[in-house]
A and B are shown apart, each in its own frame.
Chain A
Amino acid sequence: MNLFEYVRPASVDEAVAAASEPGSAYLGAGTNLLDLMKGGVSTPDRLVDLTHLPDLDRIETLPDGSTRIGALVRNAALPRDADFARRFPAVAEALLSGASAQLRNAATLAGNLMQRTRCAYFYDTASACNKRMPGAGCDAVGGENRAHAVLGWSDHCIAVHPSDLCVALTALGAIVEIAGTAGRRDVPIADFYRLPGETPEKETALAAGEMVVAVRLPADAAAFAANQRYLKVRERTSYAFALASAAAALTIADGRIVEARVALGGVAPVPWRAVAAEAALAGAAPERAAFERAAEAAFAEARPSGDNAYKIELGRRVVARVLAMAAAGTPERLPALPASPFAEPAGVAAHV
């Protein structure tokens, strides 16, 4: 790890001022940043420690009915907040399916949004990576890319976004609140993340020095509480990144889907809102045929970026399944193995 200057600002304004200096990085819990610094992947000259800032660790309901989560709210705090977990169960389930209890106790909301891809070629400083060193090339192309993207990738980057939380937030149309030297602004999460295109190093809409101060779930997001789930296929039962995951949220009335929200994880460089799938579901009966049509639509544009064609079929099945699970209703208590295909107890159909 390189030597760096450690700065502990007393306010958001001080923080963004300090971080506007080139070579600065924000420090939340550090669960991803320290990992990157230990590997020499990230070598900031200055760490601006946000963890002592006041007022950023609250979960609150605003007058307009939206729910505001402060940047420093720990990942574990959301599922542990009974009111929050009741209104946004897929967010809670997604969070609990990610990382470990220790990491969730430390990692912050903003840190989760800002975490970097787990692409091994990004982490391996001896490999070419356009994210790490723009213009260097992408060794994941033609490399070990079984886990890489099938949607939204470019020839410059085929990495996937690792977050589970952000998939659920994307499905629910979260708004990211940003602070910078020029003041505050809101960005819908779908616009917050950028596809790699020719500039995979530009991952978010944040300008230099800007920081995430909160995420809001709009008032209408709570309408999906009765029918929302998160499902994540992994190569071990827990403590693994997704091969493919999906969040689904439905409103159902009179035997018809009124509105559907679907977002995908583990298959794209960003948390991927499956708009075509949502459109395919609107007005349909909540039945397998509709779920399969939606799954087809979700991956209509998918193509393998390497040795990962299987993820397209797997992704479709994840979408169809999570829709069936959401249609079956949010469980009263999150399952023992959150988001796992093994979550449902015997007797509850895992597939319809």
Chain B
Amino acid sequence: MTRIFVPRDAAAIAVGADAVAAALAEALPGATIIRNGSRGLAWLEPMVEVETDRGRIAYGPVSVADVAGLVAAGLLCGQAHPLCHGLTEEIPFLKRQTRLTFARCGITDPLSLADYCAHGGYRGLERAIGLGPDDTIEELVKSGLRGRGGAGFPTGVKWRTVQQAVGPRKYVVCNADEGDSGTFADRMIMEGDPFVVIEGMTIAGVATGATKGYLYIRSEYPHAIATMNAAITLARGAGYLGADVAGRGAAFDIEVRVGAGAYVCGEETALLESIEGRRGMVRAKPPLPAHKGLFGCPTVINNVISLASVPAILGKGAEFYRNFGLGRSRGTMPVQLAGNIRQGGLFEAAFGMTLGALVEEIGGGTATGRPVRAVQVGGPLGAYFPPALFDTPFDYEAFAARDGLIGHGGIVVFDDTVDMANQARFAMEFCAIESCGKCTPCRIGSTRGVEVIDRIRRGEGREKNLALIDELCTTMKLGSLCALGGFTPYPVLSAIRHFREDFGVAEQETT
């Protein structure tokens, strides 16, 4: 029976994948429809694939109205059609990638454990159990993996700290509170390959001696929550979670916790507070979560992509992984191309591609066809870059050297209609809305920041107020407890530095 793939990814569903799947099922009762993860070619969603003896053939973007025509043209045999893109693997956007973390995403049935294992799943856990905790952690340190949530802290070092810490219990917490605009890698992997997240958390548990894992997913991701819950139940049923993981004597289980719409809970200590049932208020550090984390116990807290990269690292070896990338940025990064971009989606590649190559060559420039004016890299707390800085290589240090950050790997593209003073104002406004309120620079500074930018936009004391915003940003940067207040200056100051002309216009609308 011919197999047809229609993604169950939330982005595909948002543009009609469920209706397309239903229409295909009705038109082709003989075919088997598999709801896979997304391949990450967002502009082609809903992207339908047909399995043929030549390989999988892609069609997209497919709407319900296209189904009859596609079937008549010979969809089942992968025949030509205006929506046909040929072999999926040969599409340049996909062919140019190095998929390690997302190796299975879009290829397998996300909720088939048999599929997962047939495509290399659980080899990492098997090897970790064979190596034992010390060597597993050593392997991770050697791989050079750094936290993909944004902070870039070496994952292996964090695990070693937890392994050596003493406590009545230890926890693994997976941070799936992916609130940064322009990022969706966590969502895609949870919906498209949930077992890899489970395997990564399990390896963390086995390596550090933690027996309980919490997966904290934001409430804005209902499909990811449902998929992860279903996958956890399947893994438990097959003995991959529970009192005796994979029959090898270690106990580890995972519980999903759902956030409640607070951006700041993506900050690790606020997230721990939230799991404990309190307001998501940031904790002062030290103590580090590795020493005193969830419920006061030693806790590994990692981003989804960090944990989802672990099985591939253990499975293929640290050397293999660290051979990708450059400098201190080793391995691959799932870059997310978003906003006003012609070919948006997920592009996993070794560190080192330039920002310009990602935006112009891979992304194909703007969706509106107008010139690119600015790109924001790393979410709402990341800097705005003008095309003049498009030679910056995608690498933690290179971005830091240019007063930016790669964050969680999101790139949001804006065309030349953007008002950068408005974007700077939004950064302050967002900080004011989402501040947990614990520290003054963030709580008060963000509100004062909105007011000062409004004055600049109205043309009141422009030079004086630009100096004031600079001073305010320094206070926020140095005086805030966490990255929300501490990094909001990045978008604000970069907008002022690179797009100064947008701050000089008098009599501008302020709302």
Q: Do chains A and B interact in one complex?
A: no
